[in-house]
Amino acid sequence: MKSTRLNLLEETRFEKVAVSVYEDQYIASKAVAKRIAEIIQSKQKSGETTVLGLATGATPVNVYKELIRLHKEEGLSFKDVVTFNLDEYYPMKPDAEQSYVTFMNEKLFNHIDIDPENINIPDGTLKEEDVAKFCMEYEAKINSYGGLDFQVLGIGRTGHIGFNEPGSAPNSGTRMVTLNDLTRRDASKDFGGKENVPTKAITMGVGTIFKAREIVLMAWNEKKASIVKKAVEGEISSEVPATYLQLSSNVEFVLDKEAASQLTRFDTPWLVQDCDWTPQLIKKAVVWLAKELNKPILKLTEDDYNNNGMAQLATEKGPVYNINIDIFNKIQHTITGWPGGKPNADDSQRPERANPAKKNVIIFSPHPDDDVISMGGTFIRLADQGHNVHVAYQTSGNTAVWDEDVLRFMEFASDYSKALGLDASKLENLYSETRNIFSTKKPNQVDTEEVRTIKGLIRKGEAIAGARFAGLPDENIHFQNLPFYDRTKFSKNVSFEDDINETMELLRKVKPQQVFAAGDFADPHGTHKVCFDIIYQALKRIKADGDEWIKDCWLWLYRGAWHEFEIHEIEMAVPLSPQEVKRKRLAIFKHQSQKDLPVFPGDDAREFWVRAEERTSETARAYDALGLANYEAIEAFIKWEF
């Protein structure tokens, strides 16, 4: 893992620190764990202690898993290892669920043979006036062991390392810090709301981290891609504390492909190397060039190509005007007002097939509102154009309803029972029990089954209203209530077999020619990804079973609640008129429990209907800027092979 800062490769010339990119985080984590094991074992041979600097968070979890495996299966011993954790929230009791002590015990220490005396984690229980002294002693203790041999780091979306938030000095030592708002938002899920996340933490300083003999910063997923780009390619600045790592020659960034995706060599490779110009890369480059120069595609010139790193493309595939026309046409052909295919039309240049003219369509919606938020306009169009449209709500979405709404609906149920002269005593008892539970409810406490049922029913009613508004008959509205959703509230290691089987059953009933699924993998809770994987598995298994209908089944992915496809990726663009945008908005409004202030808004302060409208109008503006027609809004899809 030792880096050599001398960068001799043209393709990495924008990178100011050593970077290794792995296929996925599991392979990368194994490599990091292997390096840690090597250091421990080589020091053990000469009777020395290894001093490790450790991090918490989602990033290092698989490194710790691999270290546990190496301990259990390959005899790696931690007897001569001393550890110092980067940080701890302040104030924080060590036995609290969210403490970094609990985290480290559960994820690593309880499963290895480390001497508890050798574990050091900043103390979140100190009196404020004792913190400074503690921090000095923490530094001194690290030094007394001869400093850190290896430091594991993650990176926060603010660019923090440890909890050294923007503004931290390069020579900062261990100290108390105030957490950045984005960091607290990112932690809010663990604490059941941002308001419960401590505002402070004790962290090793940048200077402390710097003294480590080897530093590995890991980052996984697309969510980290933009901060990774800043940390690796940006100017050194206190705005992004991770950029300080550029000053050290002992640092390596270990990334998965997604976290590395915005680095110049992957995002705009034509700027740093000769490329293999696949049709997809040409499309990406031309769209990029048009955007960079703020010009429509058909006005891009030979000089534009040559002056912006695309000379190789111009020479190999030019003249450039032909490339422009080809890409323009390709994008033009993504646009269709007939998302289910245009009957009796030549479909050779259309995203969807003309036949069968009336298709069986199933829209899978991970939560009860993703269908209308992300593809409400297309949903309405498909129904209006006479397709046999079904919608399947994959999960109940019962985590995302406020407790006050539960009480309101319970009051309604008992008042209505009484108004009809029915016995409401059971409902009233349940109501007072529920009120009691809510009055002492802890953040993140899982709801009782009764409460989950009511929350699920609230969302079910809203989903029915939305789907009816989009034009669906009741019998085409399916509530899958996939079991994984409640099960994962209690246990982390689950199989998805029953979810896949239920999905296969529904697919076999509908026999769709078109399946729409959420490809919004950035959903903060990961539910969308699980829901997608279930559909994907179900389709693959049906295909392997050889069902006849599956040969004509196409899978389309939509996005919208959390982020949008990039223009060059879009394979079907469905334009919406101003009236359709309004209709879509009304369909989203049916989801009253998610309006104004949803329980889980993610990072985006905008309401879901606003996000949907702004994203679709942004896509429309991007098409316009490329020189295509100027629409009010566009919903975007990509086709996915299975």
Question: Which are the catalytic amino acids?
Answer: 165
Of 99-158, binders to ligand F6R (CB under 6 A) are 154-156
Closer to ligand F6R by CB, 119 or 392: give it.
119
Binding of ligand F6R at residue 244 (CB under 6 A)?
no
Binding of ligand F6R at residue 87 (CB under 6 A)?
yes
3-state secondary structure of 19: strand
Query: In this structure, what is the dihedral angle of CA atoms 115, 116, 118, 123, given to the nearest 10 degrees?
Result: 170
Residue 146 to residue 142: CA distance in whole angstroms = 7
Number of alpha carbons in the 13 Å side-chain half-sphere of residue 403: 16
Binding of ligand F6R at residue 57 (CB under 6 A)?
yes
Give the contacts of 218 (CB within 8 A, at least 6 positions apart). Answer: 25, 28, 29, 32, 59, 60, 63, 152, 153, 154, 253, 254, 255
Binding of ligand F6R at residue 162 (CB under 6 A)?
yes
Nearest to 147 by CA among 205, 206, 212: 212
Cα distance from N-terminal residue to C-terminal residue, the chain:
37
Exposed, middle or buried: residue 8 (CB in 10 Å: 0-12, 13-18, 19+)?
A: exposed
- Sheet of strand 572-576: strand arrangement: 477-479, 388-393, 360-365, 514-518, 554-558, 633-640, 572-576
The residue at minimum Cβ distance from ligand F6R is: 154
Q: Report the nearest approach of ligand F6R to the CB of residue 61 (Å).
A: 8
Give the contacts of 452 (CB within 8 A, at least 6 positions apart). Answer: 396, 398, 486
Closer to ligand F6R by CB, 190 or 428: give it.
190
Q: Report the nearest approach of ligand F6R to the CB of residue 556 (Å).
A: 31
* Rounded alpha-carbon distances, angstroms, from residue 135 to 168, 203, 569: 16, 9, 50
Closer to ligand F6R by CB, 154 or 456: give it.
154
Binding of ligand F6R at residue 212 (CB under 6 A)?
no
Q: Report the nearest approach of ligand F6R to the CB of residue 487 (Å).
A: 23
Q: Report the nearest approach of ligand F6R to the CB of residue 161 (Å).
A: 6
Q: Report the nearest approach of ligand F6R to the CB of residue 172 (Å).
A: 14
Amino acid symbol at 499? D
Q: Are 160 and 225 in contact (CB under 8 A)?
A: no
Q: Report the nearest approach of ligand F6R to the CB of residue 190 (Å).
A: 9
Site string for ligand F6R, 390-419 (x = CB under 6 A): ------------------------------
Supply the angle between the helices 578-589 and 449-469 in degrees, to the nearest 10: 160
Closer to ligand F6R by CB, 163 or 328: give it.
163
Closer to ligand F6R by CB, 198 or 343: give it.
198
Give the contacts of 129 (CB within 8 A, at least 6 positions apart). Answer: none
Closer to ligand F6R by CB, 154 or 627: give it.
154
Residue 87 to residue 99: CA distance in whole angstroms = 10
Q: Report the nearest approach of ligand F6R to the CB of residue 153 (Å).
A: 6
Q: Which stretch binds ligand F6R (CB under 6 A): 13-21, 49-57, 274-282, 506-514?
A: 49-57
The residue within the footprint of ligand F6R, chosen from 163, 270, 328, 516 (CB under 6 A), is: 163
Residue 179 to residue 345: CA distance in whole angstroms = 59
Closer to ligand F6R by CB, 153 or 557: give it.
153
Of 464-493, binders to ligand F6R (CB under 6 A) are none
Respond yes or no on whether the N-terminal peptide bond of residue 343 is cis (omega within 30° of 0).
no
Supply the angle between the helices 279-293 and 608-625 in degrees, to the nearest 10: 90
Closer to ligand F6R by CB, 160 or 528: give it.
160
Site string for ligand F6R, 293-322 (x = CB under 6 A): ------------------------------
Closer to ligand F6R by CB, 52 or 86: give it.
86
Respond yes or no on whether the N-terminal peptide bond of residue 91 is cis (omega within 30° of 0).
yes
Q: Report the nearest approach of ligand F6R to the CB of residue 251 (Å).
A: 15
Closer to ligand F6R by CB, 68 or 581: give it.
68
DSSP string computed for 579-604: HHHHHHHHHHHT-GGGSSS-S--TT-
Residue 507 to residue 489: CA distance in whole angstroms = 27
The residue within the footprint of ligand F6R, chosen from 9, 27, 58, 132 (CB under 6 A), is: 58
Closer to ligand F6R by CB, 58 or 136: give it.
58
Closer to ligand F6R by CB, 160 or 590: give it.
160
* Rounded alpha-carbon distances, angstroms, from residue 441 to 367, 385, 486, 570: 24, 48, 19, 45
Q: Which stretch binds ligand F6R (CB under 6 A): 66-74, 159-167, 357-365, 606-614?
A: 159-167
Q: Report the nearest approach of ligand F6R to the CB of residue 225 (Å).
A: 13
Of 59-78, binders to ligand F6R (CB under 6 A) are 59
Q: Report the nearest approach of ligand F6R to the CB of residue 453 (Å).
A: 32
Q: Which two tokens stand for residue 414?
A: 């008992």
Q: Which stretch binds ligand F6R (CB under 6 A): 50-58, 298-306, 381-389, 471-479?
A: 50-58
Amino acid symbol at 572? M
Which 8-state DSSP code applies to residue 161?
B
3-state secondary structure of 558: strand
Element (H, E) at 156: none
Report the alpha-carbon angle 50-54-60, nearest 5.
Answer: 120
The residue within the footprint of ligand F6R, chosen from 56, 250, 396, 594 (CB under 6 A), is: 56
Binding of ligand F6R at residue 175 (CB under 6 A)?
no
Residue 518 to residue 557: CA distance in whole angstroms = 6
Binding of ligand F6R at residue 86 (CB under 6 A)?
yes
Q: Report the nearest approach of ligand F6R to the CB of residue 55 (Å).
A: 4
Long-range contacts of 499-504 (CB under 8 A, 24+ apart): 499/534, 500/534, 500/537, 500/538, 500/541, 503/394, 503/534, 503/535, 503/537, 503/538, 504/538, 504/541, 504/542
Q: Report the nearest approach of ligand F6R to the CB of residue 75 (Å).
A: 28
> What does residue 556 show for φ and ψ, rounded to 5 degrees?
-110, 135
How many residues touch ligand F6R under the rule CB under 6 A: the total is 14
Which parts of 199-308 are beta strand (E)?
200-203, 215-219, 251-256
Residues that bind ligand F6R (CB under 6 A): 55-59, 86-87, 154-156, 160-163
